[in-house]
Amino acid sequence: MFSHLAVASSLAVGDMLFYAICFIILMWLIKLVAWKPINQMMQDRADKISNDIDSAEKSRDDAAKLAKQRQDALANSRQEATGIVDSAKKQGQQQRDGIVAQAQTDAQALKDNAKKDIEQERQDALSSVRNDVADLSIEIASKIIQKELNADDQKALIDSYIEGLGK
């Protein structure tokens, strides 16, 4: 083997140089053709994957937040709906009370008016009756007086009239 080596070493330098240069060229070519682009791509892929993981995390958080928001909104709207119904009820109650009260006052006013009218009517009627009675009595009196009227009778008559008027 060593004899082989010794002989080979006398031949060697050219081959060594050839292999060294060829190997360097090959390395350079591989770097150009495959090594750089593939490593770049692998790096890009690693970045993309880590980005994807991050964004997945983020969108999961967002989704959770949204769900919470929706839940809150739902609870809120329920509360709000109850509030609306309550206030509507209250308002209805108020309105009803108002209407009833209004109706009562109206009725009262009507009744009062009616009473007043009736009273007025009565007074009017009474006073007209009184006038009529006075006229009648005067007419009667004049008629009687025209017929025959002694003093006593007249007196008694007048008294009785006066008495009757006093009532």
Rounded least distance, CB 58 to other proteins, Å: 21
* Residue 88 lies near other proteins (rule: CB under 8 A): no
**Closest Cα partner for 120 from 128, 105, 131?**
128
Identity of residue 85: V
Contact in structure between 151 and 167 (CB atoms under 8 Å): no
Stretch that binds other proteins, among 14-22, 70-78, 112-120, 148-156 (CB under 8 A): 14-22
* Residues in 31-60 at the binding interface with other proteins, rule: CB under 8 A: 31, 33-35, 37-39, 41-42, 44-45, 48
What is the spatial distance between Cα 160 and Cα 167, in angstroms, rounded to a whole number?
11
Token pair 């006229």 in the structure block, residue: 135
The site for other proteins (CB under 8 A) is made up of 4-5, 7-20, 22-23, 25-27, 29-31, 33-35, 37-39, 41-42, 44-45, 48
